[in-house]
Amino acid sequence: MVMKKTIHYKILILFTICLSMTSCGYRFSVEGRGPTLGSASTIEFEGPPVVLVIEPLANRTFESNLEYKYTEYLKDEFVVTGGASLVENSRDADYVMKGAIESVTLPSLTFSQNQTQESRVTVNVRVQIADRRSGKILWQQSSSSSAEFFVGSSSSSGGGGGIQFNRVLQDRALEQAGQFVVEDLADRFLFAREQGVFTPESTEPPSAFPKTPLMDDGQMFRGGHSSSSPSKHVPQTTDDIMEDVGGIQP
């Protein structure tokens, strides 16, 4: 009798544990498609494909080699986010992008007695896209972005190590600000594409013959005059002919 009670008690405990696990969230379910093995699904973009060549950006700042990094950022982001089809040769493109890094500023954020503790880089980039054949500028935008970085003490590591480390931090901040800029430009480009900014204009060749309105039989008989113009009476029967003859005065 005691053994039966013990068995029933154990079963009750197991049943209670199962209920508690279910109520406490030990439930495994997967929603959605889950991870994709291999290549991800291709994003379908609205509008016709934009075959674009991106020329290297001009660098109007004192930061050397920054234009090469930002140009590569533009190429990557305009393909992924904007859905552009990039080509290397401008002769194969329908549109040409040109631009420049207009400015890089380094305003200080916080100070100490000896030096700045926190700094920020702000970059400004301007780009434009023109039709390759006509040269007409279809789209132009300017974007700015910032990134912060902390400046360490130049004397803490001895020699010029601190200065070099600060320079590395500044370069990383410049790269981050540039990525923010190109993401913003790619979003604007995608919006312009969806609005039909890059939809090719109709290039229907002109007809070799001028278009003239069709004429009915009456117009052809009357020499092409409109139906509203007065016309000469044309006898149709014998009575009409006799009436016309009788009306002639000798």
Pick the residue with more confidence: 114 or 95?
95
Residue 115 above 80 pLDDT?
no
Residue percentage of the chain with pLDDT more than 90:
41
Q: Which residue has the tokens 């117009």?
A: 219
Q: Quick one: tokens of 52?
A: 């674009």
Q: What's the rounded Cα separation, in Å, for the pair 96 and 137?
A: 9
HSE-CB of 168 using CA atoms within 13 angstroms = 8
Please list, in sequence order, all residues whose beta carbon lies within 8 angstroms of the beta carbon of residue 168, skipping any fewer than 6 positions away: none
pLDDT digits (tens, 9 = 90+) for 41-95: 455 666 678 999 999 999 999 999 999 999 999 999 999 998 899 999 999 999 9
pTM of structure: 0.61
Q: For the residues 21-40, what does the mean pLDDT come to?
A: 40
Provide the residue ranges of all domains of the chain, joining segments of one domain with +: 51-194
SS3 67: helix
Reference 162, options 104, 117, 111; nearest CA is 117
pLDDT band at 36 (very low <50, low <70, confident <90, very high): very low
Q: How confident is the model at residue 40 (pLDDT cuts 50, 70, 90)?
A: very low
DSSP state of 201: P
DSSP E strand stretches across 45-192: 51-54, 58-59, 85-86, 95-105, 108-111, 116-131, 137-150
Question: Per CATH, the architecture of 51-194 is what?
Answer: 2-Layer Sandwich (3.30)
pLDDT tens per residue, range 192-229: 998 889 987 655 555 555 555 545 555 544 444 444 44
What DSSP designation does 115 have? S
